Chains A and B, each alone.
Chain A
Amino acid sequence: MAIESAVVVVGGGLAGATAALSAAREGAHVHLVSANESTLRQASGLIDALGYPVADAGREGDDNDGDGGNGVAADSGPLADPFAGVDDLPADHPYRLIGADALREGLSLFDDTVGDLYRGGHTDRNALVATTSGRAKPTARYPRSMAPGLVSDERPTLLVGFEAATDFDAPLAAERLSAAGVPFDVTGATIAFPGEYRADAAVTRLAHALERDEDAGDGRTTRQRLADRVRPHLDDAERVGFPAILGDSHVEEVRADLSERLGVEVFEVPTGPPSLPGIRLSDRLFEALDDAGVSMTTGTPVVDFEPEEDGAGGDRIDRVFIDRNGARIPYAAEQFVLATGGLVGKGLDSDRERATEAVFGCHVPQPDDRMEWSEGGAFADHAFARFGVRIDERGRPLAADGTPEFENLSAAGGVVGGADVAREKSASGVSLATGLVAGRTAAEEV
């Protein structure tokens, strides 16, 4: 026997969650299995689709000198419209393989799922969101809490960092934004977080203090004292940006309260892990999965699989096995979705010789000579950045001969190769587009 469902999705990041929702929408009973808590909890919460056209340029031999370390060639600014950039991508890019409509539908599924937590769906155009390092990141969707902070907005801005939250050096970020020529005045200030906390208090601790508006001494609450400390730095600023720790599930309440106290609009600047916007997004998606009747097992990796006994040539998967502290638990299904991530997410393994797909051993195209895996320079056009399984238009991973590896397997997200998501700023979009297609393919066959 085994734990049975119609579709098993392996992986709990954005791609896995999207595939599960996509399949569940088509009426299939889905079981999502994830090795750890969702990697969304480490993500910025920004949803990029295609930020830069560099991939194609790099492939034609551009050396990308002068990119200033952010992966952007000097002469190729951010893309205003991600969809307009799709046709210029290499032919084996996932967007080209499954079509720009898949990206559109993926974003639309995302919009339906997250509701008023996010903004940006009103237009095809990328928004520019200021990051903690003082850069403007092109992104297709952004949390509502970041909306007043967009770089296209011309209101004078104050950025506020906390001594305890060292990820965000607000004066430095302000200096960099100014140097980048943003169309507004921006200054930065660092203040002490109100209340008695350890020097290295967890950001979640500070977020909860703001959310519960705890007593912060002197008969004043956390928010009251925070506003008191920010006010002297306001000058002419018409909006104030804080690191993204303004509460956990009630960020809008915290933001409204602080905005009122300061008399200017307050927004969040996306931060590195652990990321409150990432945690909020993860919570929202898993709530949606629960509502859609998706079963979930997290904290246990899939370690092995078994083909169908009577499958001709063993080209159908019968079940996968998770490792539960040594015990092998079988999960059987009619269709499977591989959404385990790339080299960082451990969906791909690599040693000195080969990069391999970790669960089913699917074909991963790569140069035979390992010296060709990478180029000089951190953000050069590395072959390894595009490693992953190649898919057909229905999201099925392909063997070396171009036929599907398994009749009942589709793939989504970072495990799919062909995109250099770090340089293109396309990781979320690839996950949404491929997740949507993989989930739909799985559900169609059930």
Chain B
Amino acid sequence: MDLRPGADSCYKCTSCDTSCPVAEVDDSFPGPKFQGPEQWRLKRKEDTEIDESITGCSNCMRCDGACPSDVPLSQMHNTARGEYVDNQMDKLSREYLRNRILANYGTLAGIGSKVPRLTNAIMGNSLVQKLNEKLLGITAERDFPEFADQTFRSWWKQRGGPNVESDEKRIAYFHGDYANYNTVEVAKALVRVYEAFGYEILVPDQRCSGTPMFANGMLDDARRSAAVNVENLGDAIEQGYDVVASCTSCSMALRQEYPELFDFEGTETVAANTYDALEYLLINENVIDPLSEVDAADHDIPDFAYHAPCHSRNQGLDRQAVELFRHLDGVDVADVGDSCSGISGTYGWKEEKYEYSMEIGEEMFEHMEHAEGETGMTECPTCSMQMEHGTGYEIDHPLQVLESALVDTDVEI
């Protein structure tokens, strides 16, 4: 992939390095400017290998937003990391095995969720956690996310699919693995909110968006997933559906990483017709008026400490929840600052990164403690894990707050 024009646009202002949460805490990590344009130029030379520090990048993609010159930094990082894993990484190493397992979380989750209670018991066992750390390098400090008793897809099937039919208002829901296997309540909230606004919902067959695979340089795995997603979502778009995702890393992958890394037919169409769930409602529906009718105190809606995930920030979506819920009386939604949560998907699950991950998150934890609310709010499932891990707070998704305010009340939409 010729990224030379992008590399040439870099004038070394180092804004990207300033915004990099990893470089902030990890002195061995040379930062996005090196990993992007500089490494790209270096590796043009024969006999020059990719510097292994590329594996230190957590793929938060903040450098993209910081760059005043539109250098495609994360695309450079993704391609360099992919090349490093393909050509230089020992496929029998513990690190490769561990990263492959973490990157393909959905595959394991598919098996584990068949017997959720048993899996939860095993994964929650501290001996198993220690073994994971010793054998695989997966930190024992974190609690493995619990599987729901019933997956979202199974609930959807049992329910008989959509309750609303419409020719005009149609969305295809990209739930991703996490809302399917773990936070099923988020996916259900999406369904209830969107149906309340009169949308017919399609839940197409899908695989992981690929975010954890990009982050670990497993581009072949990501390509296989992306092929399935682009085909199925493309079909839905042809039938008049817009694609909506509840996880901002999923929407980021469909919108930015797919077109940057792959050239399946329809990739651009999928990118151009994919939206974040809250964003789509704000564009197409009057959410504010009904929300303004509700008094949160009457419905046990608490105050929130809101954290904008890096991947929502990169899409320019970091303010939407805070600004929307200003219209909800009796609820204080405090933005807990612009720092990264530190977990960055699989990054914070790696034994050697755990401490860095917590150090990056420190600022967010402090801001959460200082905020009025003792419930957290964020769109990203792993940020949510980190928020809970660092503060003990329960964390909601903005869709769940909308569900409480608009669906569980008798307000007219």
A binds B: yes
A: residues with CB less than 8 A from B are 1-3, 36-37, 39, 41-42, 196-198, 201-205, 208, 273-274, 279, 290, 293, 295-300, 322, 324-330
Residue B390 interfacial (CB < 8 Å)? no
A198, A279, A290, A325 — most chain B CB neighbours (10 Å): A325
Q: Mark B294-329, 1 if CB is under 8 A from A, else 0.
A: 000000000000000000011111110001001000
Contact between A299 and B255 (Cβ–Cβ < 8 Å)?
Answer: no
Contact between B27 and A326 (Cβ–Cβ < 8 Å)?
Answer: no
Instruction: Return 15 A-B CB contacts under 8 Å, by A number.
Output: A1-B285, A1-B286, A41-B15, A198-B30, A274-B14, A274-B15, A298-B65, A298-B316, A300-B316, A325-B252, A325-B259, A325-B271, A326-B255, A326-B268, A326-B272
Q: Contacts A1-B286, A198-B30 given; 5 further ones with Cβ under 8 A?
A: A3-B283, A202-B18, A290-B335, A300-B315, A324-B315
User: If A1-B284, A202-B23, A299-B314 touch, does A325 touch B256 (CB 8 Å cutoff)?
Assistant: yes
Question: Shortest beta-carbon distance, B276 to chain A, in Å?
Answer: 9
**For A42, what are the chain B residues with a Cβ–Cβ distance below 8 Å?**
13, 15, 68
- Which single member of B24, B274, B319, B326 contacts A327 (CB below 8 Å)? B274
Question: Shortest beta-carbon distance, A144 to chain B, in Å?
Answer: 22
Q: Which 7 A-B pairs have the closest CB atoms?
A: A325-B255, A326-B271, A300-B316, A299-B316, A274-B18, A326-B272, A325-B256
Residue B275 interfacial (CB < 8 Å)? yes
Contact between A324 and B13 (Cβ–Cβ < 8 Å)?
Answer: no
Residue B177 interfacial (CB < 8 Å)? no
Determine the residue in chain B with the shortest Cβ distance to A31: B323
Residue B282 interfacial (CB < 8 Å)? yes
Residue B371 interfacial (CB < 8 Å)? no
Question: Shortest beta-carbon distance, B311 to chain A, in Å?
Answer: 11
- Which single member of B24, B252, B274 contacts A208 (CB below 8 Å)? B24
Question: Shortest beta-carbon distance, B109 to chain A, in Å?
Answer: 27
Residue B31 interfacial (CB < 8 Å)? yes
Complex Cα gap A6–B318 (Å)? 21
Contact between B275 and A327 (Cβ–Cβ < 8 Å)?
Answer: yes
**For B335, what are the chain A residues with a Cβ–Cβ distance below 8 Å?**
290
**For A41, what are the chain B residues with a Cβ–Cβ distance below 8 Å?**
15, 18, 66
Determine the residue in chain A with the shortest Cβ distance to B65: A299
User: If A325-B315, A327-B273 touch, does A3 touch B14 (CB 8 Å cutoff)?
Assistant: no
Residue B67 interfacial (CB < 8 Å)? yes
**For A327, what are the chain B residues with a Cβ–Cβ distance below 8 Å?**
255, 271-275
**For A3, what are the chain B residues with a Cβ–Cβ distance below 8 Å?**
282-283
Those of B16-44 within 8 Å (CB) of chain A: 17-20, 23-24, 27, 30-31
Question: Shortest beta-carbon distance, A203 to chain B, in Å?
Answer: 7
Determine the residue in chain A with the shortest Cβ distance to B15: A274
User: If A202-B18, A299-B316 touch, does A36 touch B268 (CB 8 Å cutoff)?
Assistant: no
